[in-house]
């Protein structure tokens, strides 16, 4: 067991640190940056995507948050209306056009019963189905029309870490691929996104190199009453994922919000005992988010922010710098939130790789 952990005390920390390598595997051989093209090595029937009117992502937990990130990219890069649904809530409602819909199931394991159930309902309704998974030969791959593998390597810790990063990177490539196929994305714009993806492994490494800062922050704030995570746009799924990670492994109360929603209710919970962790990067409308963070600070809350390298927010209690990688900056910020969750849980001596009541793969509906 110790050898398998490669010198780390927990699989989770090992897997957090494997992200640069996992991301390299995810993108290797798939990007043609000069041409602004992607080859995800998926075999679709000809014209499979050309007339798609809508993409519906179905997933659970962390994979659902990867889907929420992706839905924004599908709209922005592929020019297709995209929604994301919690798999156990997914139905084909009236007014939908299944034959013009692509249902994308995002699942690390490929075995999550809720997600498989959604895929089956989509198939019955006549939709085209696609899977984004880490697991070769998994059940989902046999139920869909096409699969893209995220190639993150095995993930043992119950808390998903490197697979979230590789899922989002894969979905970003899918968005570029669909956008290019449909003529919705210019080569120059595609090139910029692919360059950001190429910069992702190095950017994540820079964050990992700052782990001691995150550990210090975790030690400072670990005894807080609750933790709130906020962001806007691409920062929202990252805020939600940051909160899930913390509650899952530390057992502390944590919630993620769209930053603009704080003033519509959650602000009543904010006190000097509730740190606010904010995504303040490109793609997350940092200035507007910071205004909301300031509202929380006015109520005494400590504020920690993941901040783009070229921005500065002097009033933050702690700032974590995020290298400049465009629309994947929120994904890089997420690595700070993973480390924060890990170190809070570690300070509390929690069984990080096997949190109580949870299983790595949930095979019951
Ligand atoms: C993430 O940390 C959780 N363990 C959980 O939310 C997980 O992402 C969810 O159960 C979905 O699993 P899947 O990706 O294998 O479908």
Tokens of 114: 């809720």
- Provide the pLDDT for residue 198: 98
Lowest mean pLDDT among 41-45, 75-79, 271-275, 332-336: 41-45
Summarize the confidence of residues 15-30 as an average pLDDT.
98
Residue 244 pLDDT > 90 = yes
Of the pLDDT bands very low, low, confident and very high (cuts 50, 70, 90), residue 3 is: confident
Which atom belonging to ligand 1 lies closest to the Cα atom of 248? 2
Which atom belonging to ligand 1 lies closest to the Cα atom of 133? 14
Short-list 168, 150, 202, 115, CA closest to 42: 150
- Provide the pLDDT for residue 305: 98
Question: Exposed, middle or buried, 299 (CB in 10 Å: 0-12/13-18/19+)?
Answer: middle
Instruction: Give, using CA atoms, the residue closest to atom 2 of ligand 1.
Output: 159
- Residue 362 Cβ inside 6 Å of ligand 1? The answer reads yes
Tokens of 110: 């490929």
* β-pair partners for 103: 56, 129
Instruction: Give, using CA atoms, the residue closest to atom 5 of ligand 1.
Output: 61
Which atom belonging to ligand 1 lies closest to the Cα atom of 163? 14
Structure confidence by residue, pLDDT tens digits, 260-314: 999 999 999 999 999 999 999 999 999 999 999 999 999 999 999 999 998 999 9
**How far is ligand 1, taken at its centre, from the CA of residue 65, in Å?**
10
DSSP state letters, 255-318:
EEEEGGGGGGTGGGG--TTS-EEEEESTTTTHHHHHHHHHHHHHTT--EEEEEETT---TT-SE
Are the beta carbons of 319 and 307 closer than 8 angstroms? Answer: yes
DSSP letter at 233 equals T
| Gap between the Cα atoms of 68 and 57, Å rounded | 8
Structure confidence by residue, pLDDT tens digits, 89-133: 998 776 677 889 999 999 999 999 999 999 999 999 999 999 999
DSSP state letters, 28-53:
TTTEETTTTEE-----PPTTTTTT--
Residue 43 pLDDT > 80 = no
- Residue 250 Cβ inside 6 Å of ligand 1? The answer reads no
Ligand 1: residue of 63, 132, 352, 356 to mutate (most ligand atoms within 8 A of CB) is 63
- Residue 55 Cβ inside 6 Å of ligand 1? The answer reads no
- % of the chain with per-residue pLDDT over 90: 89
- Provide the pLDDT for residue 91: 83
- Residue 61 Cβ inside 6 Å of ligand 1? The answer reads yes
- Residue 134 Cβ inside 6 Å of ligand 1? The answer reads no
Of the pLDDT bands very low, low, confident and very high (cuts 50, 70, 90), residue 364 is: confident
Question: What's the pTM value of the predicted model, to 2 decimals?
Answer: 0.97
């Amino acid at each position: 067991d110790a050898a398998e952990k490669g010198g780390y005390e927990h699989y989770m920390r090992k897997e957090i640190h494997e992200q640069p390598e996992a991301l390299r595997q995810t993108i290797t051989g798939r990007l043609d940056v000069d041409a602004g093209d992607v080859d995800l090595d998926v075999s679709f029937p000809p014209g499979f995507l050309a007339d798609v009117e809508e993409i519906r992502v179905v997933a659970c937990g962390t994979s659902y948050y990867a889907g929420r990130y992706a839905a924004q990219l599908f709209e922005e890069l592929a020019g297709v209306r995209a929604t994301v649904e919690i798999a156990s809530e997914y139905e084909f409602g009236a007014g939908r056009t299944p034959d013009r819909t692509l249902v994308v199931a995002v699942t690390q394991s490929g075995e999550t019963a809720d997600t498989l159930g959604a895929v089956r309902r989509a198939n019955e309704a006549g939709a085209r189905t696609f899977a984004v998974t880490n697991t070769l030969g998994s059940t989902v791959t046999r139920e869909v029309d096409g699969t893209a593998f995220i190639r993150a390597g095995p993930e043992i810790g119950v808390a998903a870490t490197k697979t979230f990063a590789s899922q989002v990177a894969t979905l970003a490539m899918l968005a570029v691929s669909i956008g290019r196929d449909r003529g919705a994305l210019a080569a120059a714009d595609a090139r910029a996104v692919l360059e950001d993806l190429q910069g992702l492994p190095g950017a994540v490494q820079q964050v990992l190199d700052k782990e001691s800062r995150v550990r210090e922050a975790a030690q400072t704030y670990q005894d807080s009453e609750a933790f709130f995570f906020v962001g806007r746009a691409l920062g929202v799924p990252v805020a939600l994922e940051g909160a899930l990670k913390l509650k899952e492994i530390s057992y502390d109360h944590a919630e993620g919000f769209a930053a603009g929603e704080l003033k519509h209710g959650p602000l009543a919970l904010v006190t000097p005992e509730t740190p606010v962790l904010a995504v303040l990067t490109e793609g997350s409308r940092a200035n507007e988010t910071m205004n909301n963070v300031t509202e929380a600070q006015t109520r005494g809350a400590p504020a920690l922010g993941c901040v783009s390298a070229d921005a500065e927010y002097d009033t933050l209690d702690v700032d974590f710098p995020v290298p400049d990688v465009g629309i994947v900056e929120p994904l890089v910020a997420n690595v700070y939130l993973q480390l924060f969750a890990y170190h809070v849980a570690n300070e509390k001596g929690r069984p990080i790789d096997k949190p109580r009541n949870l299983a790595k793969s949930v095979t019951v509906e």
